[in-house]
Amino acid sequence: MQRILIIATDGFEQSELMKPRQMLEKAGAQITIASLKLGEIKGWDQKDWGESVTVDITIDQVKVADYDALLLPGGQMNPDILRMNAGVIAVVKAFGEARKPIAAICHAPWLLAEANMLKGRTVTGWPSIRTDLVNAGAEVVDRDVVIDGNLITSRKPDDIPAFVDALMAALNMEMAV
């Protein structure tokens, strides 16, 4: 069973956490949600607050060795808050140093930029963050999913099927029927 860590906080793009989690769990993965505090975090659903999810552990409790991959949902607020937290950035860096798959969608590649992981890498992301990604040293392309080594990036909710397929392929998982 593959163990996947999702890091998120209030304002995560609801579809970018809920749909990948559902698809990955259906395929047999064990999902853990880490955040800045215990309790619940609230999603953002297009133009208003959406559903909440229960946080399993706090960032300071994360042990990278316990997980096979990291998934970072987007939304504008979520990664903007998370990239200002040194503990979150340390966990993202540790996944990178361990060469474990890191899947980041929408605005979440901001976290990869903050962790100094983009120099010489090819990625994609939401259009409004592409200049930030270029400034962090990345080559940015406009595709539904981009795989560069252990980094998997996508642009938006419409890309979720390709995004999850790429993460599952990186983990040698098979899609549940």
- Asked if 97 is an active-site residue, the reply is no
Catalytic residue among 83, 100, 107, 155: 107
DSSP 23: H
Catalytic residue among 106, 108, 129, 171: 106
Show the beta-strand stretches assigned E in the chain: 3-7, 12-13, 30-35, 39-45, 48-55, 57-58, 69-72, 102-105, 122-123, 139-140, 146-148, 151-154
What is d(CA 103, CA 150) in angstroms, rounded to the nearest whole number?
A: 8
Burial class (CB in 10 A: 0-12, 13-18, 19+), 51: exposed
- Asked if 59 is an active-site residue, the reply is no
Could you list the active site residues? 106-107
